[in-house]
């Protein structure tokens, strides 16, 4: 498949909705996306309707146009294999907490030394610069904290209500794919990569306001 991102290689170390939606968008635009899964697989494999075990419809949709590899990052040899993939990549997307990545030697500073042109994109719940840094999050939490659930309830004259889809994941995923595309554009001028943070909470607060 060709597209505007043909020739761009993306290493996707993300699960569930936000990160995979961002990388699916990049893949739809022609990027070569390699999804890295742990030995047990992305837990989203088991969500929704499925004809075959571990191949749920939401997972298949969010991970189309991707290649796949299984790596156990607790194993030093398999972690080195991931580093070799990142050395050759244009983009690295993850939703692992930054503290965990640092312990694995996958922080931006160390990866940028190996690959200065790398676009490094963290997609997780809360900004590292904010008051909730490091806390876990999923879609319902972000819909509630961002005011989206309250807004949804107010529009029907009732109590707060969740939007009937993983809207926080999807909105933040689109923001991540846009940010990555802009970073790739900037790299064409500067020749340098950069680190990007796309936190669900801060992104959805801005979106809701």
Q: Which residues are catalytic?
A: 169
Nearest Cα to 93, choosing from 123, 72, 63?
Answer: 123
Query: 125 near 201, Cβ under 8 Å?
Result: yes
Element (H, E) at 66: strand 66-70
Q: Is 36 left (phi over 0), alpha (psi -120 to 50) or beta?
A: beta
What are the CB-based long-range contacts (under 8 Å, 24+) for 57-65? 58/17, 61/24, 62/17, 62/20, 62/21, 62/24, 63/20, 63/24, 63/35, 64/24, 64/27, 64/28, 65/1, 65/24, 65/27, 65/28, 65/33
**Residue 76 DSSP one-character state:** H
Nearest Cα to 11, choosing from 107, 61, 86, 64?
Answer: 86
């Amino acid at each position: 498949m060709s597209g505007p991102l043909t020739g761009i290689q993306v290493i996707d170390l993300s699960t569930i909705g936000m990160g995979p939606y961002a990388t699916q968008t990049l893949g739809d635009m022609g990027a070569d996306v390699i999804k890295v899964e742990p030995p047990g697989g992305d837990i989203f494999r088991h969500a929704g309707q499925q004809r075959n075990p571990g191949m749920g419809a939401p997972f298949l949709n969010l991970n189309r146009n991707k290649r796949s590899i299984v790596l156990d990052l607790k194993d030093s040899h398999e972690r080195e294999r991931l580093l070799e993939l990142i050395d050759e990549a244009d983009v690295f997307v993850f939703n692992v907490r930054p503290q965990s990545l640092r312990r694995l030697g996958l922080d931006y500073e160390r990866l940028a030394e190996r690959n200065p042109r790398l676009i490094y994109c963290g997609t997780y719940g809360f900004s590292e610069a904010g008051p909730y840094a490091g806390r876990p999050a999923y879609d319902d939490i972000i819909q509630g904290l961002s005011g989206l659930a309250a807004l949804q309830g107010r529009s029907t004259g009732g109590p707060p209500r969740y939007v009937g889809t993983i809207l926080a994941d999807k909105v933040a995923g689109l923001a991540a794919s846009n940010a990555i595309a802009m970073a790739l554009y900037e790299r064409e001028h500067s020749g340098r990569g950069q680190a990007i943070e796309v936190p669900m909470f801060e992104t959805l607060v801005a979106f809701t306001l």
